[in-house]
Every structure is written in C-alpha cells, then in structure tokens.
Structure 1
C-alpha cells in the first residue's frame, strides 16, 4: 500500500506548504503543517450568512482512496497514480478489499481531510460507506467525491463526477482552492441493512434480491467476462431476466418466497420475482423504476412472481410512471418508506457486493443518514 503525506491543497489567496525530507522520497510518511492560515478569525458575533459564505469558500482538504484493481483503473493502470504523484501534498491510500479500506480510512482520518475522493467501483464505494458510517473514523464526516473508476459505476453516475476519472481528479485538485463554492453538491441518504445474529450492519445505496441478485451474478460471470463494461452489461442482464420473468422461465429468474413489512404494515407472504430498494435518484441507463408517493428515503420496488402484463407495464415501470397495468393486483408494488423488513432465505446484493441472510433473522432496512457529495464543477 502506497502512502503519501499531506501538506494541504493548492489555494488561491493563501499558501499551504509542506516540509519534505529524504525519508519522503523513500516512501516514508512525514507530517507537514499548514503554515498559511489566514490571520483573520471570525468573531462569535459575525453574521451567520457571512460565516456560511466563508466556510463554503474554504479550500478543500483532499484525501484519496484508490482501488487500482477496479474496472476503469485496471483498464488504464498507473494513470491515477501519475496524477497523485504530481501532487504529493494530497494523502492517498491504495485499497483492494474491505479490510484495506478500513485501514486506509483509519490512516487518513488524522490528516484532517474534509473531502474524501473515492476512485473505485460500486463495491469500493460500499466498503467506504461501511467504514464511514459503521466505524466513524473521522471526527467530522467528510463530503464524498465519487469517480467513475469501476465497471458499472451506478453510484457515481447518480451522485459523482462524470468523465474520465483521471481528468475528473485533476480538475478537482485544480479547483480545490475555490472550496465547496466551486462545485455542485447534492445529498443522498444511505441505507442501513441489519441482518441480526450479531452481524455488523451493512451500508449502501442500492439493495436487491431475487432477479436483481441473480442478474448481478449473471452479469459479473457472463457479461463482464466478455469485456462489456459500463451500463451496457447490466442492460443486457436486465433484458435476459425480464424476458425470463415474462415467459415464466424459473430456471433463469428464480422466484424467492418472502414476506415483508413496510413501515410496520405487514404484507402477505408471496413469491417475489424482483426486489429492489435504493436511495439513488437514477439507476443505470437512466432508469427510475420506482413510483412511491410517500415522503421517505427508501425507494422500494417489488414485482411478484408471474406478474401480469409485464411487457405492457415495462416502459412505465422502468421510468417510474404508473400506467393502468402497473397495479398491486397485477403484481407491481412501489412505496417510499422509513423502515422495511424482509423475511427470506437467500442471498442479496448491496452496491454490487453479495451477502446472505441469517437463518431465522429478518433483514431490516432503515435510513443510515445523509452524506454530502460533490458532483460537478460549478460554472
């Protein structure tokens, strides 16, 4: 794991500096101080609007988590490292699995960063969320910047930077001196998933079971191996499993028996063909397959096994626009909720990572909190 030390970010109007010794060139960590802080300190009686403006223009203190094995990073090895090597004042850590993500964030936390850049796929983002919200290594929660450095990049497509990840990172570093005011920002709720049996909670932005789990598994083992990356792969898997549901081909799209409760209201047990919950505004290919009207953060969509009029319902289903075929009686349910409880015995997927239910324990999904994301340069 490669480590570089922080001396700060490039600023306009003041200077961050760092002292380096030969140990730095040997890859050892040293500690640098910010020696260019403004002497002006706002008084306790300062106008809150003025304070808010000053905070928004404070230079970003960047830290980077880099997964060189994720899709886009693996396709262009070394590109992200060259950007980071050109800016040795920015601390970064390379990661490869959830355990290394935990270590990386523990090591970055003392550097007092306020903006955490994640260069990896959806699985890397999920591991970062698990650590940030489950272990809380930072004194103050950093805002996030998600780069499209993975294979599918569904989280980054909704709440991250667009374009090639190395260009996005270089642009972010160049404009860091403008502070938050130099960027578009958004917030997203993060799901908390409790499995019971003493297991640690899981955090993420997209949960799926039944055909969603089966589709992700198929995509990873049969589509991505053909070199199809980005949103094309999940699109192909979607077509395969929708067609299987429409034709009742259970050997492809296997229904999962389950019961559920939505904000405490129990629903009868039934075979489920598709189960999806998200806090994202859009999924891959721009889909928005949810049409709940409640004011709540968890967007649930459930399609029962043997849904009626699936092909007629599909266009509205994918766009979240209810039509006369999309009804509970025909097997289509969508609600926004604060608490969801599922009872089933099968595997499920969170942000592309696979997990299993615990025997006899329900899955409980709740709101794990909101995080801030930088999404684009402000023009």
Structure 2
C-alpha cells in the first residue's frame, strides 16, 4: 500500500474553546493538520454527540493514536465517550495540552502544545520513531441507581477542592494566572482561609461520608476529599500514603485539620514520614472502590457536578495508554 493510500495515523480532537486553543493557536493547529493531508484527521466537535461520532469515525478509519488538543476537561470528555464510540482495543492518547492547569499532561507526558506538538507527532510517526508510552488506571465515577450516568477522568475533589476551583475561576484565571501559578495561589488561599476564617466551607467543612472498600471512614464534616489514579500532581504535592491495595488513591481530611503548616510541608516532600497525620485528621491510602455520600457539588477534572441521592461511587478497572514524542 502506498504512503498516500495509507490510513490516517493520527485522529485529532480539538477544543477551540480551551484556553490554549483560541485565536491564532487554533488556526496554527488546523494549518498543521491540513499540511499533513491524509495522515491526520482533525475534528472539533461542538457537543458530546458529535464527539462520539468523531471517535467512531476515527475507529472506522483505522486510527490508533488519538491526539487531544485541550485541557483536562477535554480529555475527560474523550475518555467518557470512548467506550461507546470505539469497538475493540482502545487507541492510545497523545496529549496536546491547551487547558488552564493540564494536570494529567504533567503526569503522563506530552509532545508539546497545540500545533508544535501535533507537528512533532506527525514527524515521529512518519519516520517510525518509537513513542514514549505510559498507562494509567482511569477513574470512573458512577451515580448509584442511575445506570446510564457515568464519567471517566483522573482527579476528583470535594469540599475545599471545589471551593478552590471556584476561587481559581473567579479570581485567578480571569487575571492571567494559569498552570503552576494558579495552583500555587489557590493552595495558599485555601490554607490561609482555613486558618484565618471562622466561617464558611473551609472553616467548618462539609458533611461527607467516605467508604473505602466497604470500610467506612470516621463520620463528620470534611475539609477536603481528593481522589486520583495519577502518579504525580502539580507543584510536587503528594498527599497520598501507600496503605491498602488498589488503583484508586484517596485522601480524606477532617474539618478543622490540625497542624496545617506541618501537613503542607509533608505533602510537598514525597515519601516523608507521616505517621502522625491520621491522629491529626489526615487519612489516605489505596483502594479498589471508594463510595462517597455528599450533598454538595464536586469537581472532576475541572468541571463541577452534582452528586446523586446516594452520592457517587469511584472505581478504576480500565487502563488508558498515553504516548508522547
């Protein structure tokens, strides 16, 4: 089969509404895709139905690498749509980060932003260069009693995490703070408010019940609940212990946590001794399933969602491959 007749090597899902894909950057991505000819299929779906259609088209065309030009939210939508849209073995994903924080790309790697990353991918595959490949378990969020409602992503957060997300959108992103700068300022603001404020979510927490592999954690209000299947977060922060078994990493911090400064130092030094933390209200570990009963919105990969009457259940049975140059 000639090179011209070969199927597309890369299918690209572009999100022109992502922070890093607007204006000239979006035009540059389209230009690189056009120059690649039949080796690239670029789709910019406007809604979830169009996204499923685009992914199904990629599968029929023989695409084995799907590049995602967008942020963590765009990746979440692609991962959620893949099982219904793709028959057989799922494709590898290549990230072209264009979001506000791009936490997943910071863990699994990427080939560069937008047009630069796509150009490097096209060149590497055309020349037969082996791509770096890693796998991560995919976090699946289900609403008990609602069989058709589910999401797939990588980072779940509630209570102070949801408040931090609101703060970042309201105060930081609009003023030009993104990536590590936004994360650092958000963490500082959250901990500062938790120490200085005498009221509100950060002071009193939210009523949340966490159950890990059918073991109920202590009842009461929570300052922060964080769950992920990634191996690294931004700024080197790592609040998870290796207790237990399973692909789901969970963190459960009781409201009015003690020794916040010492705790922040510990989570910024991965592997530090944290034997004192459970007694101070910080618990974390590994699990196969986490059930969360909560009444306030939570955040999954940058988007706010409302839990069901029975809360949400989180598992991670499937794994996703990521490739980069």
TM-score scaled to structure 1, two decimals?
Answer: 0.79
Compared with structure 1, are the counterparts of its residues 320 and 274 closer, same or farther at alpha carbon in structure 2 (3 Å cutoff)? farther
DSSP-derived class of the 1:86 partner:
helix
TM-score scaled to structure 2, two decimals?
Answer: 0.92
1:67 aligns with 2:11: no
| 1:239 alignment partner, one of 175, 188, 191 | 188
Q: How does 1:1-379 map to 2 (within 5 A)?
A: 15-18=2-5, 61-74=9-22, 76-89=25-38, 90-133=40-83, 135-179=84-128, 182-198=130-146, 199-251=148-200, 253=202, 255-323=205-273, 326-359=276-309, 361-375=310-324, 377=325
Q: How far apart, CA to CA, are the structure 2 residues paired with 1:297 and 1:250?
A: 36
Output one character per residue of 1:197-228: Cα deviation in whole Å (capped at 9) or x when no partner.
32511111110000111111211122111121
* Ranges in structure 1 where 5+ consecutive residues have no aligned partner: 1-13, 19-32, 35-59
Higher RCO structure, 1 or 2 (CA under 8 Å, sep 6+): 2
* Ranges in structure 2 where 5+ consecutive residues have no aligned partner: none
Q: How far apart, CA to CA, are the structure 1 residues paired with 2:154 and 2:108?
A: 10
Stretches of 4+ moved more than 4 A in 1? none
Shift of 1:138: 3.5
Asked if the contact 1:148–1:157 (Cα under 8 Å) also holds between the matched residues in 2, the reply is no
Compared with structure 1, are the counterparts of its residues 339 and 145 closer, same or farther at alpha carbon in structure 2 (3 Å cutoff)? same
Q: Which moved more, 1:348-357 or 1:261-270?
A: 261-270
DSSP-derived class of the 1:146 partner:
strand
Shift of 1:325: 7.2
Output one character per residue of 1:53-80: Cα deviation in whole Å (capped at 9) or x when no partner.
xxxxxxx821111111111111623111
Q: Which moved more, 1:283-292 or 1:333-342?
A: 283-292
Shift of 1:95: 2.6
Q: How many residues align?
A: 321
DSSP-derived class of the 2:218 partner:
strand
Q: How far apart, CA to CA, are the structure 1 residues paired with 2:124 and 2:85?
A: 28
Asked if the contact 2:208–2:219 (Cα under 8 Å) also holds between the matched residues in 1, the reply is yes
Asked if the contact 1:327–1:333 (Cα under 8 Å) also holds between the matched residues in 2, the reply is yes
Asked if the contact 1:299–1:336 (Cα under 8 Å) also holds between the matched residues in 2, the reply is yes
Q: How far apart, CA to CA, are the structure 2 residues paired with 1:364 and 1:227?
A: 35
**Equivalent residue for 1:53?**
none
Compared with structure 1, are the counterparts of its residues 98 and 239 closer, same or farther at alpha carbon in structure 2 (3 Å cutoff)? farther
DSSP-derived class of the 2:220 partner:
strand
Asked if the contact 1:248–1:306 (Cα under 8 Å) also holds between the matched residues in 2, the reply is no
Q: How far apart, CA to CA, are the structure 1 residues paired with 2:150 and 2:301?
A: 14
Asked if the contact 1:69–1:96 (Cα under 8 Å) also holds between the matched residues in 2, the reply is no
Q: How far apart, CA to CA, are the structure 2 residues paired with 1:163 and 1:363?
A: 35
Shift of 1:16: 1.9
